[in-house]
Amino acid sequence: MRFMLRSKIHKAIVNHADINYIGSITIDSALIEKAGFWPGEKVLVVDNTNGARLETYVIKGKKNSGIICMNGAAAHLIHIGDEIIIMGFELTNKKIKPKNILVNKKISL
Q: Is 24 a catalytic residue?
A: yes
> Residues with Cβ < 8 Å from 39, sequence gap 6 or more?
32, 58, 59, 60
Q: Is 21 a catalytic residue?
A: no
**The one catalytic residue among 7, 24, 29, 65:** 24
**The one catalytic residue among 7, 21, 29, 57:** 57
What residues act catalytically? 24, 57
